Amino acid sequence: MDSLLKPLNGLLHLIYPLHCAVCETPIEQNQLCFKCENDLRPLPLGHCFQCGQWIGGSATRCLTCVEEMAYSGFCYGLYEETKPLAMLIQKLKYRGDRGLIPLLGELLFQVSVSAPQPDLITFVPMQKRRQRQRGYNQAELLAKDLSESLDVAVQSLLAKIKKTKPQAALQRRERLINLEHAFVARPCDAQTVWLIDDVRTTGATLRACAKALKDAGVTQVVALTLAAALPPKGVSNSD
């Protein structure tokens, strides 16, 4: 840093001290305190790479995910309400904290090293009205961050054309019908496309998007998500 800026930066920190982005503890540098950084763990071994379910042993995917034909997926960690990963995602989505994008993008970058190389990166779209309310689509911002880190182009390929009810409020059959034909993709002949989203639950949204991409000409879809939220009891992961 320029020597003239250094004292200014120190002064700024005095006026606006740095706080951990998760627990708000005052910190000297970075965005997280030591404890929260330590708690921001990747998926422990024994969990399915794609949906986060516990499977044990040395397999990397559960049977349901192995049988998923529309896409293959990787997630960084588990979505647990009071843990740093979930709290950071909530701040990004509901409190407009876009300053968290580089930090969360770095986690996606770590996940991406396991995935086959992409020709293009795209993202799960939001309904236009909802995106206008929020002002941005967090999946798009994450995709752009990853695109810059990897120097692979990002393109908005998908559109949500049907208004859908929140998946959490629906039963199994309704969930499937709810998302059927909810997305369309513009024609694209890329071999491998990465599909970015922040959180997956049942994977129904990723599947609907992946199917639309394949209908549009994409050969292989790889979904990368920050977190996997395990579905409520009684709801199968294949929903």
Which residues in this chain contact Zn ion in the complex, by CB under 5 A? 20, 22-23, 25, 33, 36, 48, 50-51, 62, 65
List helix spans (H) across 49-163: 63-66, 84-94, 101-112, 128-134, 138-150
Shortest distance (Å) from residue 37 CB to Zn ion? 8
Task: Answer left, alpha or beta for residue 162, where phi above 0 means left and psi between -120 and 50 means alpha.
Answer: beta
Least distance to Zn ion, CB of residue 197, Å: 16
Give least dist CB 206 to Zn ion, A: 12
Using CA atoms in the order 171, 177, 183, 184, what is the torsion angle rounded to 10 degrees? 160
In the complex, the smallest distance separating the C-beta of residue 26 from Zn ion, rounded to whole angstroms, is: 10
Min dist CB 123 to Zn ion, Å, is 21
CB closer to Zn ion, 190 vs 224? 224
Q: What angle do CA 42, 48, 54 make, to 5 degrees?
A: 90
Complex with Zn ion: residue 114 or 156, whichever CB lies closer: 114
In the chain, count H helices and then E strands.
9, 6
What's the token pair of residue 85?
């990963």
Q: Name which of 23 and 216 has its Cβ closer to Zn ion.
A: 23
- The residue among 5 and 59 lying less far from Zn ion, judged by its C-beta, is 59
Largest Cα–Cα distance of the chain, in whole Å? 63
Q: Which is nearer to Zn ion, 62 or 188 (CB)?
A: 62
User: What is the DSSP secondary-structure string of 182-194?
Assistant: -EEE-----SEEE
